[in-house]
Amino acid sequence: MKKTLTTISFCLLLAGAAQAAIWTWDGPNPATSRWDQANWLEEDLITRSTPASLDTTDLVFTNGTNNSSITRNNWTVRSITFDDTIGANGHIINIFRSAAFDRTLTFSADSGNSSINITSGSIGDISIIGAMGSTRNGDISLGSSLDIVHEGTGTLTISAPMKGTNGFTKTGTGSLTLSGVNTYTGNTVINGGAVTLSDNAELLFQIGATAINNEVSGNGIANFNGEFRFDLAAAGTTVGDAWQIVDVTTLTETFSSTFSALTTNGSFTESGDEWTIYENSVGYEFSELTGMLTVIPEPSTSALLLGGISMLALRRRRN
The answer to whether residue 149 is domain-embedded is yes
Domain boundaries, position 246: 20-318
Residue 144 has pLDDT above 80, yes or no: yes
**Which alpha helices (DSSP H) does the chain contain, by range?**
2-19, 299-318
Q: What is the pLDDT of residue 65?
A: 59
The answer to whether residue 61 is domain-embedded is yes
The answer to whether residue 215 is domain-embedded is yes
The answer to whether residue 133 is domain-embedded is yes
- Give per-residue pLDDT as tens, 74-133: 999 999 999 998 988 899 999 987 666 789 999 999 999 999 999 999 999 999 999 655
Residues 6+ apart with CB under 8 A from 40: 23, 24, 25, 26, 48, 49, 50, 51, 59
Residues 149-168, buried b or exposed e (16+ Cβ, 10 A)?
A: bbbbebbbbbbbbbbbebbb
- Give per-residue pLDDT as tens, 16-74: 434 579 999 987 766 678 898 888 999 999 998 999 999 999 999 988 656 889 898 89
Residue 305 has pLDDT above 60, yes or no: no
8 Å CB contact between 106 and 80: no
Q: Which letter does DSSP use for residue 121 in this model?
A: T
Instruction: Kindly tell me the sign of the dihedral angle through the C-alpha atoms of 86, 24, 139, 103.
Output: positive
- In this structure, what is the dihedral angle of CA atoms 150, 62, 201, 248, given to the nearest 10 degrees? 0
- Give per-residue pLDDT as tens, 195-252: 999 999 999 999 999 999 999 999 999 999 999 999 999 999 999 999 999 999 999 9
Better-predicted residue by pLDDT, 225 or 318: 225
The answer to whether residue 1 is domain-embedded is no
- Give per-residue pLDDT as tens, 258-267: 999 999 999 9
The answer to whether residue 163 is domain-embedded is yes
Q: What is the count of structural domains for the chain?
A: 1
The mean pLDDT of 173-199, rounded to a whole number, is 98
Residues 6+ apart with CB under 8 A from 42: 21, 22, 23, 48, 49
